[in-house]
Chains A and B, each alone.
Chain A
């Protein structure tokens, strides 16, 4: 246990002393996951509405595929995208490989199915009368969609948190597309794996603590939001 306490002490010191490397890595991880979540919600939320309210052929098939993709291994997403963005791939000229953009892109594809299915579940759970009441009261389909989001906001925010969480905690995409380049594409998870391999437990542990802290902050915010602006208050 000695090594754990020693590492923990050092980890706390690194964090509290504002170690640039640790916080730089943390910032990169958070910003990559943030952009991925933002982009995934821009596409995923409307997609969830389409799946809920529009009838089209192969709809059930699309849902089946999305459900399957929810549990796709992160390395599979990384591998798949690698083919496209590597030098010889069709998006090779964009020079995305081994950049934070590549990590965001990979996380985007990773969390999109999750976000769509969580958002769909959130809207599905809401009583259909909310939307019908909106429409009969004169709301346009867009206004009605916004009102539905307003009523389902707790579940939707939970969906966003879960998606962000999956993005920030994944290793495969960051490793394969980002390349774990020090000071450039080194994310919390890839750095932890590396520092652990090197035997630098303090560094790994401090990053682990940041990850836990992020998770805690997200849940705390979610709880706060739900307690203070609960559906019935």
Chain B
């Protein structure tokens, strides 16, 4: 520090470090749940709890996230860390198990068409609360709290971050003290959307009734809840400590007396803390090169194991159909300005065929596997057709041949020229050590095709923001790379990203999900059919078809299907059930050592 010369320099270096951490942030974290009504089962996915767990018999449980908690009310959550930290305290009506099916939390059972809980026309669902559930302040939980939660979240002035999930809910009414009826605006294939999983946390009317709307920002920062724990201390951007909620409904749970939820730092040292020193019991999202992570796990004195589950998240390369050239000025990136060579299917196919997924997936090791599908997460709708597609096979010779056929001959500098345009690709992604290595690997292959590749790494805060020219949405690059995936098992909010009407322009502030500017009438037709279909099997079939179309037409190039969670946990920890569709801490009451 002494003089500022170096302190400043190092501050910059540090910023870089932090950027590393921040950008691992995934697009879609744990989520709302559930397949169609008929498929739901009332039986919890939880295995039989380990014998004779005694409340408070365990000591402290230490959880480490490399992002720190900023909000403890799920409806103001800024990211997974907030949903998760809140989940120890505030519960939804139902959690979502590893198979994507709802598991009762505050609800007595899961409503289905069979038990009459879901209406025959698939527009409404009636939940019954567990009897005698109490808030941690000793008052009763009633259906009024659920109705209040809905009003709180959907009040525009509240500016709840979960409001989008409730957009299709028409009405929520209390049938009686312990029964609540949720009505959707239209027949839905997923009646469990509202009040389940991370975005469904029920807050107490008594505590928040004066803080609805614009006053929400002055509301209590520590919620009263029904979960196994209550908050002792909350330091934003640092740590949350919890103790057992004496009112918790299960007399034998939870096992751990106290919980410390620490945030900050980087993923690699989080891995060290759980695997090498054993300082923590649970380390979230270990986005660490497999070459570093594996030896820690496999070490003879290793203290950790991985806690992972299949997820819908796919690391992919998006291909820009519009022309991002700065020389176009205002017209830059507009959908009516075609890209000089990426609009040619043969060129796109060549790019896809030059992807060597093996070494890319190897970077992820236990936290990801190579994939050539875009719509994944459930075996039932994951397409089997792509494996045999030529665009999914690494073949540099064939890729070169395709480019020759496309008429792109090599110029004097060894770089191909396509109809007068030198084939140079600007390849952007977020700052993240894993991603920069993926870029290296892809660039090495594309260079062998005679394509000039310039790499670019953008801080996540800018890349996923709305300001400046380096945002993913403006897409002023030729290709860009990130992870995305559905937040619901039904994939509804995810497949929307591929329809023509989601292509937006500068005038709409680029606010659509179709960043590729990929418009395919056949896909749109499938999509329309999909939105109207309520039959599960047929929906799955349509999803697979849509997937094949995206891959075949090379709208995007899928690389790695990542796991979610991708966490490291102490070998001694028992009862952890990973699910990609809900918070990893959804069943923390069942954990023990």
Tell me, yes or no, whether A binds B.
no
Chain A interface (Cβ < 8 Å from any Cβ of B): none
